Structure 1
Amino acid sequence: MSEMPLIAIVLEAGFYIFLRVTGVAHTSTLVQFANFLNLLTVAGVLYLLKRSFDAKREADLFLQRLAKESKNHIQLPGFTSPRFWKQLLDPRHSPQNCFVHENIPYWTSNEQLMVMEADGLKSVLDMALDVYRPTSAEGGDDRPVFVHIHGGGWTGGSKSLTGPLLTELISRQWIVVSVDYRLHSKAGYPSQLIDCKRALRWVKDEIRIFGGNPRNVIVGGDSAGGHLAALLALTPNQPEYQPGFEHVDTSVQGCVPQSASFDLVDLKNYSYHGARERFIKEVTRREGAADSPENIEFLMEHSPLFRIKESSIPFLVTHGDLDNLTRVQVARDFAQEFQKKSTAPLSYLEIPGGHHCFHVYPSLRSWSTVTAVAEWLEHNFGRYNGNIASGKKVPVHELVEWGWSS
């Protein structure tokens, strides 16, 4: 409801008009009481709409700050814009004008056998990705690449849940890669992180075939996917998370975590009750109490908040101020710690009225946020190295059948 206030108001108004036209509105005290409740609902929805415009104002301020650097201010769509109404009233946000290359495996034959023996065929099939290639893109174009990692509490979700941000980037001629990872590995976490690094290895080797630049890769995700994206950016080339491919470059150029879990330790008790215990028992499947010294050390090792160090990777952190799963205080702490420890720039966009993963729904709030994020990405990474304009193409090889190669 909070992400679709105008649609709710239209439905309420239509229902009320129907009651008036048919005369039902005057038939009973119960119906009249229901009408009164509807009016209260409309008042509440109008407040939600006002909060949506608060979010739009924050995005506008963010773009104004960005415009000082880019000299290219973007005005967010408003009531007079056809795009505003299209985005608000059309619930579909599936990518348009692109080719979708689905279920490409990113494991080698040795990894396939290992996972088959440990977890079975289903887990092997989870280790795949989709590539969204704009219809105008050709191999060797050297377009920027956005790698998206889905959320779902590390044990759920799917790469098919693309959302407005991926749709927006594809419309801006980016190459988008959406990654699946093992959700039910018997070994537990960090299998998910290792799989994401395997997917990044594939991107570095193969993305030129689809028109992407392997030296201009930005990673992002929401919720648990935001946690994995942040760790991916903060742990480049660390051999303990790259078993069998220790010498592969797994660095990225930027990171966009949304509604992310930055602090698994949660010593300040920001998260809901039992979050730390759930992660240890259900996600990592480790022995012992969640607050034992060994498990606290493990949680710190896998919390982006404690892995910042001297990161040189630019971050854009977006978070809703009403997030009830990953509290906004955690995002604020991460942003503050990053700015103290890192030499890289961090941009922080806090969205009024935003709940957990609000950005996956097509609404005024989400599209304002998406536009701001896309402009930040374009400003920092939206370069094609002149290959498209000049007609020059970087030589590319044929796509390797990763799953069956030795």
Structure 2
Amino acid sequence: MRNYLLVFLLLCTFRVYSQTTTGLTGKRDTSYTSYSDYQKTRKQHPDIKLVREFKRPDVREKRNLVYCQRSDRKLMLDAFYPQPKNNQKTPAVLIIHGGGWRSGDRSQHYPLAQRLAALGYACFTAEYRLSTEALYPAAVYDLKAALRWLRANAKIFNIDTTKIAALGFSAGGELAAFMGTTNNNPKYEGENCSLKYSSQVQAIVDMDGTLSFVHPESGEGDDSRSTSAATHWFGYPKKDNPALWAEASPLAHVGKNTPPTLFLNSSVARMHAGRDDFRKELAKYNIYSEVHDFPNAPHSFCLYEPWFEPTVNYIASFLEKVFR
């Protein structure tokens, strides 16, 4: 069905290599933050403005909530949700930060969560175990647990459990797509936290997140200068375990159970590798999708004006359309 993937696997050797754990430093990687990215990005885009947090009387907040108590530590998220109106249930959005599966922080998207909450969405920014702490698929297990937690706590936040979206930026975009393409797949649920609840999502918003690690358009896995972010996450270079790299690609799982999907993309083509093939698969099942490109925009466009407000508007319009 996906000829390029078959060719890729056939061209690779299938010798079994040992997984490397050198990237498991146990120390937080702070190399990617909104501010450090701003300092770098404004060299090419001097007029950008880093979007700051909002304070609105119509948005409630609860921060540092434990969504999963693991044996070794607690996993946290933050809630930003609107004042309830007329007992009407609220659609929910799980927001997943970027940073190459190794760095970044959920606070990156507080402004986005606050803006969407003001528009009527209950938004939750979740942390997940990064590759300094645990290898793939730990992050997947964590975020599935976060989705189950939303349903377990639906009454507290007035959530409509039939209208939950996974939204992410960069590595978070890849993870959001993976959440949606593995709906109802028990292999990726993990074994901890709120297991009697569903992790299903009814919409995907992918902001510059790759759809495939092995697609010809992909730039992931270049270890010629230093170990790539994806190699750190998998514990294998692409050539040593191509099957794992393929399995971790949302494109490998897209099908009839994949929900409607919105793609918001920068001018950096490799950051949306596999998008067109992903949409073709959705079209086979008459599943709705949208694409909006921001010409000349940097990869981290969603953190800055002049792209932040259009990003919010595209997301809100898409969610209104698919949840209506």
TM class, shorter-length:
0.7 to 0.9
Deviates more, 1:275-284 or 1:241-250: 275-284
Deviation at 1:179, TM superposition (A): 0.7
Residues 233-272 of structure 1 correspond to what in structure 2 (within 5 A)?
233-244=180-191, 248-268=197-217, 270-271=219-220
Deviation at 1:329, TM superposition (A): 4.9
| Alignment-derived partner of residue 367 in structure 1 | 309
Residues 191-206 of structure 1 correspond to what in structure 2 (within 5 A)?
191-206=138-153
Identity, % of aligned pairs? 25
| Cα pair distance change 1:282/1:213, threshold 3 Å | same
| Alignment-derived partner of residue 180 in structure 1 | 127
More strand by share: 2
| Alignment-derived partner of residue 343 in structure 1 | 286
- So what's the TM-score if we normalise by structure 2? 0.76
Residues 77-92 of structure 1 correspond to what in structure 2 (within 5 A)?
91-92=51-52
Matched residues in 2 for 1:251 and 1:172: separation? 23
| Alignment-derived partner of residue 251 in structure 2 | 305
Segments of 5+ residues of structure 1 without an aligned counterpart are 9-40, 50-87, 117-123, 384-406
Matched residues in 2 for 1:149 and 1:303: separation? 17
| Alignment-derived partner of residue 103 in structure 2 | 156
Matched residues in 2 for 1:328 and 1:284: separation? 20
Matched residues in 2 for 1:248 and 1:343: separation? 28
| Alignment-derived partner of residue 278 in structure 1 | 228
| Alignment-derived partner of residue 99 in structure 1 | 60
| Cα pair distance change 1:357/1:95, threshold 3 Å | farther
Superimposed CA distance per residue, residues 80-110 of structure 1 (whole angstroms, 9 cap, x where no aligned partner): xxxxxxxx979434352322111111225xx
Answer yes or no: is the 8 Å Cα contact 1:133–1:176 preserved in 2. Answer: yes
More helix by share: 1
How many residues are aligned here? Answer: 281
What amino acid sits opposite 1:107 in the alignment?
C
Superimposed CA distance per residue, residues 175-197 of structure 1 (whole angstroms, 9 cap, x where no aligned partner): 11111111246541110000000
Matched residues in 1 for 2:111 and 2:278: separation? 25
SS of corresponding position for 1:132 = strand
Answer yes or no: is the 8 Å Cα contact 1:100–1:130 preserved in 2. Answer: yes
Superimposed CA distance per residue, residues 28-47 of structure 1 (whole angstroms, 9 cap, x where no aligned partner): xxxxxxxxxxxxx9xx97xx
CA RMSD, Structure 1 to Structure 2 (Å) = 3.1
Segments of 5+ residues of structure 2 without an aligned counterpart are 1-37
1:230 and 2:177 correspond: yes
Deviates more, 1:260-269 or 1:144-153: 260-269
Matched residues in 2 for 1:106 and 1:205: separation? 10
SS of corresponding position for 1:161 = helix
| Cα pair distance change 1:181/1:173, threshold 3 Å | same
| Alignment-derived partner of residue 331 in structure 1 | 275
